[in-house]
Amino acid sequence: MAEPLIIDSDEPLRLARRLAERLGTTPDDAVAQALRAYDKAPAATRPLIASWQTLGDREAVIADIVARGAAVRAKLPPGTNSDHSDLYDESGLPR
């Protein structure tokens, strides 16, 4: 028999039950499916889960953010920038 997963707070249990209802399965199976999907997802599409308890955690989160930014920048057309000066006049008002 597998080791049981104990959920100590109400929110994860409520979310697991809601997901199980949507999937038409048990909360155990719903959690397993969600964890499998998260594990297979590319890092750039995973929700950011931050644990700031140690310096190593901070470095991992920052590395994840940098990797996501690089993935987004790679998809932008060449010459793309954030200059929107053509939308405003000399006084900073919209044209």
Residue 52 lies in a domain: yes
Average the pLDDT over 23-38 and give the result.
91
Residue 5 lies in a domain: no
Question: What does the mean pLDDT of the chain come to?
Answer: 83
The tens digit of pLDDT for each residue in 35-63 reads 898 888 777 676 666 555 556 677 877 88
Our count of domains for the chain comes to 1
Residue 57 lies in a domain: yes
Residue 53 lies in a domain: yes
Residue 35 lies in a domain: no
| Prediction pTM value | 0.46
Residue 85 lies in a domain: no
CA distance linking residue 65 with residue 43, whole number of Å: 10
pLDDT at 56: 66
Residue 56 lies in a domain: yes
pLDDT at 53: 56
Residue 59 lies in a domain: yes
Average the pLDDT over 65-69 and give the result.
86
